[in-house]
Amino acid sequence: MKNKNAVIILDGNFPKENLLKNILKNKPFVICADGSANKLIKTKIKPDIIIGDMDSIEPAVMVKYIKKGVPVMKIFDQETTDFEKCLLYCRENNFTDISILGALGDRTDHSLNVFSVLLRHYRYVNITLYDNYFKIFFITKPVTLHCKAGEVISLLPFPIAKNITTEGVLYPLKNENLSLGKREGTLNFAVKKTVKIKFGSGDLILFVKHFL
């Protein structure tokens, strides 16, 4: 596989057409997680592989994709979610950049579990989650964002992030700590075109409006 960019499509809220087109325009390797195939079949998108325990994909949909030459990787392991099965496949095949679509949906437990899975893997591969509003990712080093004035920027510790310093936002932090249940950094706003964020230790999730 020459292209080391992958997109994992999960069975949450299906992304809007423009977001889907923008993420797929560079022709990444498309991985469909189990039941998301039921939604993807309604588009013209052909996944490169379908991965999961296959408890959600409709039999007729599976047959259609198999006839199109799409490989199906059935993994019986019930200790991992379909999302994590897809991530493990990406790591085993040395994908370096992974975009996630359809991760969040009506099942709050599933949505929260997505972040727990990300916590296990984000240090080993570059992973970015997209919903129809935000670009969401754990940060591992200082980041510089190019923003529009008034753009929402949220920092969420998971569960603790220490020695955080931010510049270019309405409510800046200066070597401060965030902790779930005590203090979060959500609903901040860019006041400059350049926003800088750095932190010392812990795990920190960044939410940025993506305009895709």
Domain map of the chain by residue range? 5-132, 138-209
Q: What is the pTM of this model?
A: 0.94
Q: Which fold has domain 5-132?
A: Rossmann fold (3.40.50)
Nearest Cα residue to 99 out of 6, 22, 169:
6
pLDDT at 1: 53
- Helices 82-92 and 108-121 pack at an angle, to 10 degrees, of 20
Distance CA(162)–CA(175), nearest Å, equals 8
Q: Measured between alpha carbons, how far is 19 from 43 in angstroms, rounded to an integer?
A: 14
Hey, what CATH class is 138-209 in? mainly beta
Specify the pLDDT at position 39: 95
For residue 212, give both structure tokens. 């895709």
pLDDT at position 183: 96
Indicate the pairing of strand 97-101 with strand 152-167. unpaired
The pLDDT value given to residue 10: 97
Give the separation between CA 174 and CA 187, rounded to whole angstroms.
17
- Helix, strand, coil shares of the chain as percentages rounded to 5? 25, 35, 40
User: Average pLDDT by consecutive 10-residue portion of the chain (212 residues)?
Assistant: 86 93 94 96 94 96 96 93 97 96 91 95 96 94 92 95 97 97 95 96 95 78
The C-alpha atoms of residue 25 and residue 21 are separated, in whole angstroms, by 6
Residue type, position 107, single letter: R
